[in-house]
A and B are shown apart, each in its own frame.
Chain A
Amino acid sequence: MKFFGFKGGVHPPENKIQTENQAVEVLTAPKMVFIPLLQHIGVPLTPCVEVGERVLKGQIIADSDAFLSVPVHATVSGVVKKIENLPFPLMGSVQTIVIENDEKDEWTTLEKLPEWKNSTKEELLGIIRAKGIVGLGGAAFPTHIKLNPPSDVKIDMLLLNGAECEPYLNSDNRVMIEESTKVVEGIKIMKHILNVDSAVIGIEDNKLEAIEIMKKACQGTNIEVMPLKTMYPQGGEKSLIKAILNKEVPSGKLPSAVGVVVNNTTTAAAIYDAVVNGLPLIDKVVTVTGKAIKEPKNLKAVIGTPISELLEKCGYNEENVEKIVMGGPMMGMAQLTLEVPVIKGTSGLLALTKEETNYCKPKACIGCGKCVDACPMSLEPIMYARLAEFSQWEEMAKYHLMDCIECGSCAYICPANRPLTEAIKIGKAKLRTMKK
């Protein structure tokens, strides 16, 4: 299969070497877990437990009837202490269930389904939803919806995103290395659900070990491993489809418009665990790294573990730290407090020093056009910052603002350090409020 690549993109220092050979360590569940009721794109859930109630590990503790939603589960056994609004890693605060760990590690009953091939698509999608599976690449889109495209579109290709194009991160990489069979079995389940013959796993060529191991695990299956040139944002859904299949997803449409469904490789492993072992999504591999971290590691932490516990486990230099980021350095969220918990979409936790962020005082735009060359969506970021200065929001829309995927390549490459992504985010928010 030919690698086509995509236009634009940047290549920041990879900084993966610190954790790429670190086997995943299991982090002991903390005394208190904080489980936010919004861990997917969609609406917040309604709790189905009460304060004072004892819950078992793996038990559903909140759910919703809304279309775009998946339940969350207790990640330890213990007693519900509080249900209240608490700091949330993505923004502001969200209703959160606080469980005190009784350290008995008592599981709820898990229904295993090793013979999933005899099940229908609907049954499998039901299991995937009930086990709280969301896309683990960061966007946290409910997987059962992604695997159930409208009946009028024909899906002929399943793409697996093992690119992990964000610098610093190695969580997908480690999952592919350590749980390759789970990933492959998960892909088979997805193929069965989507009724497609073949699948392609795209992995950037800076993860040679993962490429080798996945190739071996895929032998004798109709799943192909495709090494990709290391380039950010290779793992962006649309960039990935362009790079592997040379197809452009039309503006404003989903990958299903070109007959493709894209899922993360870690999601595939989670699907396998959910269907075959009956395990709900209650933990996540998180790469803890950055120059302010003493011993960078890949930790498997239960959902709801405060990030302070992860930092403590890896040793953290409070003096040097400039920013704490949840996620990758290109698209992750800066955190104001260490009280926020690990959520389903958490793939990395970075403690960055000033030197690493390379921040410098913004200067006047010199019109170099490097942002235009770097934009994977072929937009003109240069115009956004100029127009935002004069509050020309409608004019920004004419420059296809809404097509921006907020990958941050433009702001990364800008020699004048113009706040390009910031202008875009503000512009999008303004346009959305204007539409209402």
Chain B
Amino acid sequence: MAKILKMGPSPHIRTKETVDDVMYDVIIALLPALLAACYFFGIRAIIVTAVSILSCMVTEYVCQKLMKQDVQIFDGSAVITGILYAFVIPPYMSLVYVVIGAVVSIALGKMVFGGLGHNIFNPALVGRAFVQASWPVAITTFMYDDVGGATLLDTMKRGLSSDVALIENGNLYLNTFIGKMGGCLGETSALALLIGGLYLIYKKQIDWKVPAIMIGTVFVASLIAGANPILHIFSGGLFLGAFFMATDMVTSPHTPKGRAIFAFGIGVLVSLIRFKGGYPEGVAYSILIMNGFVPLINRYTNPKKFGEVK
């Protein structure tokens, strides 16, 4: 009896790359920032990140069981959400809020929409927005070297010291770039985030234009607003948002033109919130707002098809 051959349409070969590979590339790219967090915040960074990842995976497991889906908690996507959520909260936030935020990220940010690929908003940012709205003090209390203090952006916002005064501290540019300052757990080191981002660009997982446009927009807007553009791009969550959230495949446009508009929109919103709004930081809300526009952007940015008569 001859073997029954497999049928099916062409192509008959496919790339080795799977969704899991894409996800694990992102995880690898997040490692430099995690190492930087360990350097600045010590063991606390590991504890917060581990609790967040574990909470995300457990939540996804429970949701997938309840929804009678295949359990796919090891596909890497829940791990990414866990890391990203840990990265956007203060390192010394109570672990209770870490867990609550992580559960909300997965349950409300991802699984209510149907799971991987179906969510509209970045799950980690949904979790952060939820905690920020519910316990605003918990998420804006930063501690560094056991001294309670404000972040650089906060300081600049409230005009406690002018940019000029800040710069007098000779190493300020360097410190903001490498991340030696108060801030959320994974956001502080622009350098570490840049290394991870360049890895993703090298592996062709993200479009370099997205972070370039987003950061560039904030840079130009800072100049216009009369603020110090270099301090503005290196501080807050701009690099994390630009390399790891605005480039989130699921919640950003799929057309090249759409991605550019999306990145520009985030940059404009970040600038508006920072310079005209009530918050010192604006990356999380800007990305969430632009996530909402993605279907619209996709609809109106169809590429010019080959051979289209102009």
Contacts and interface: CB of A to CB of B under 8 A. Distances in A.
B21 A415 contact: yes
Contact of A422 (B9, B75, B306): B9
A95 interface: no
A419 B251 CA distance: 22
A361 B309 CA distance: 39
A331 B305 contact: no
A251 B305 contact: yes
B256 interface: yes
Given A323-B5, A367-B117, A412 B22 contact: no
B117 A238 contact: no
Contact of B117 (A319, A330, A364): A364
- Measured as residues with beta carbon below 8 angstroms from the partner, the interface class of chain A is 35 or more
A408 interface: yes
B18 interface: yes
Interface string B241-262: 0000000011111111001000
A403 B306 contact: yes
B158 interface: no
Contact of B10 (A251, A331, A338, A372): A331
B306 to A, nearest CB: 4
A365 interface: yes
Contact of A415 (B17, B118, B305, B309): B17
A376 interface: yes
B200 to A, nearest CB: 12
A336 B7 contact: yes
Contacts of A39: none
Interface in B251-310: 251-256, 259, 302-309
A432 interface: no
Interface in A236-272: 238, 242, 248-253
A321 B15 CA distance: 19
Contacts of B72: 363
A334 B8 contact: yes
B12 interface: yes
A150 to B, nearest CB: 19
B268 to A, nearest CB: 22
A144 B9 CA distance: 30
A408 B305 contact: no
B16 interface: yes
Contacts of B304: 378
B160 interface: no
Interface of B: 2-3, 5-19, 21-22, 72, 75, 115-118, 205, 249-256, 259, 302-309
Contacts of A335: 5
Nearest to B304: A378
Interface stretch (A177-185, A199-207, A349-357): A349-357
A118 B51 CA distance: 86
A238 B307 contact: yes
Contacts of A193: none
Given A367-B250, A415-B15, A324 B306 contact: no
A379 B13 CA distance: 21
B11 A334 contact: no
Contacts of A324: 5
B19 A363 contact: yes
A358 B11 contact: no
A369 B13 contact: no
A323 B72 CA distance: 29
A152 interface: no
Q: Select the residue from B12, B13, B205 with max chain A CB neighbours within 10 A.
A: B12
Interface in A282-298: none
Contact of B11 (A252, A400, A421): A421
A366 B249 contact: yes
A321 B3 contact: yes
A368 B25 CA distance: 13
B306 A376 contact: yes
A242 to B, nearest CB: 8
Q: Select the residue from A253, A325, A366, A382 with max chain B CB neighbours within 10 A.
A: A366
A413 interface: yes
A409 B18 CA distance: 15
A373 B6 CA distance: 29
B13 A333 contact: no
A363 B116 contact: yes
B12 A357 contact: yes
Contact of A364 (B18, B115, B205): B115
A249 B306 CA distance: 8
B204 to A, nearest CB: 8
B255 A369 contact: yes
A368 B249 contact: yes
Interface in A3-58: 7, 10, 12-13
30 contacts: A10-B15, A12-B15, A253-B307, A323-B7, A323-B8, A324-B5, A325-B10, A330-B13, A332-B12, A334-B7, A336-B7, A352-B13, A358-B14, A366-B22, A366-B250, A369-B249, A369-B253, A372-B303, A378-B303, A380-B254, A380-B302, A403-B306, A408-B11, A412-B11, A413-B15, A414-B15, A416-B19, A416-B117, A419-B9, A422-B8
